Amino acid sequence: MSARTKARKRAIDLLYAADVRQVPVEQLLLAEAERAANEPERQASWLYAREIVDGIVDHRVEIDELIQTHARGWTLERMPAVDRAILRVGAWEILHNPNVPDAVAISEAVDQATELSTEDSSSFVNGLLAAISHSRG
């Protein structure tokens, strides 16, 4: 598994944990940063995970509005928490990381949805992120 794939998984884990515990993700970032500092083997994936989560925090309103717009009948609150986290990571990469091709961001999100969520989540994530990618022209 590549360092970026691990980083995406760590970002999803942080976003999911904050969502489920109903605590600010910044609070969990502090604890994770401390743990990463004490475990050098985690450092490579930590830096990109931190970039993802910070980017989502900075652009949360825009990202959530786009997810909501393209969700077709689903509210953010109705989605499984893990799907929200996966979608936020994928949307951030599509919108704010020019170093990651949209197809890669979508593929990675679909893989995470297949591994972590429901049977239908991978196709939902794929369609929603593809719509976000196409909407930005």
| Segments forming the whole domain that contains residue 11 | 3-135
Whole-number pLDDT of residue 137: 63
Whole-number pLDDT of residue 33: 83
Surface-to-core class of residue 113, CB atoms within 10 Å of its CB (0-12 exposed, 13-18 middle, 19+ buried)? buried
Whole-number pLDDT of residue 113: 97
Whole-number pLDDT of residue 36: 78
Whole-number pLDDT of residue 73: 84
Cα distance between residue 111 and residue 44, in whole Å: 21
CATH number, position 104: 1.10.940.10
Q: Is 59 in contact with 92 (CB distance < 8 Å)?
A: yes
Whole-number pLDDT of residue 58: 97
Task: Please give the tally of structural domains in the chain.
Answer: 1
Cα distance between residue 99 and residue 85, in whole Å: 21
Indicate the pTM of the whole model. Answer: 0.94
Cα distance between residue 117 and residue 133, in whole Å: 22
Q: Is 111 in contact with 78 (CB distance < 8 Å)?
A: no
> Which segments in the chain show pLDDT lower than 50?
none
